[in-house]
Amino acid sequence: MSQLNVDTIEPEGASTTLTLGAASDVIQIPASAEIDIASGATLDVNGTIDVTGATVTGLTTGSLVKLLSTTLSGASAGVAFDSTYITSTYDNYYVLVNGFLPVTDNADIGIYLSVDDGVTFATHLSGNFYLALNSNGYGWQGSQNAHYMAHDCSNVVGEMKVNGWAIIQNVNDTTCYKSIYGNGSTQNSGTKADDYAYNSFTSFASLSAVNYMIIKSNSGNLQGFGTATLYGVVK
């Protein structure tokens, strides 16, 4: 391996573009080294910035850092985010779900948390308010065993698939339970004509740090489409 020692590299001639490496090459920055973007300069990224396992500094508190997006291409037991992504770097996480459907009709799609990387799942104390969007149905459900984004979901592609979001809070707090709050919507399984919205609240009954979450159906698999995206909330 050869080594080039210079202070400045500039494009040749009239060109204003400098290319480092070729397609699929890896440009490696040694440990403890820094890339300094000067004031007034612009870092233009058309691809993906992968910050998995990295400490991101300088972002405003509350900013969202995209950690992983998974799109299903076949029937699946669920979309999981393990201890590679659920770490002490972030105390709060945001999950966005687009276009899931269960294989089993009348199933519920929810978020389940774990403190042992998915081996077991502690108790979820959950409830939700539901509202029919095209009829007069509404009410409360309590004593649920997961943070359900949507209940009684149709397994037929119709007016709505399951869409929703959730905020998982204080995952590293070992002095109290963790909280989940979020909304979801679905086409109801019963008539295949009613669409329902859900506002869900969950207390995760564990004093250990969370290091795993999975989005799945409470009965059977998820069908082979839809996307789940995980974001870390900057401290």
**Residue whose structure tokens are 């399951």:** 162
Query: How many residues does this entry show for the chain?
Result: 235
State the chain's mean pLDDT as an integer: 88
- Residues 109-157 have pLDDT tens digits of 999 999 999 999 999 999 999 999 988 889 999 999 999 999 999 999 8
What is the model's pTM? 0.79
Which of 83, 84, 81, 86 has its CA nearest to residue 97?
81
86 vs 115: CA distance, rounded Å: 10
Tell me if residue 149 falls in helix, strand or coil. strand
Q: In the structure, what pLDDT confidence band is assigned to residue 32 with cuts at 50, 70 and 90?
A: low
- Domains of the chain (ranges, CATH numbers): 64-233 (2.60.120)
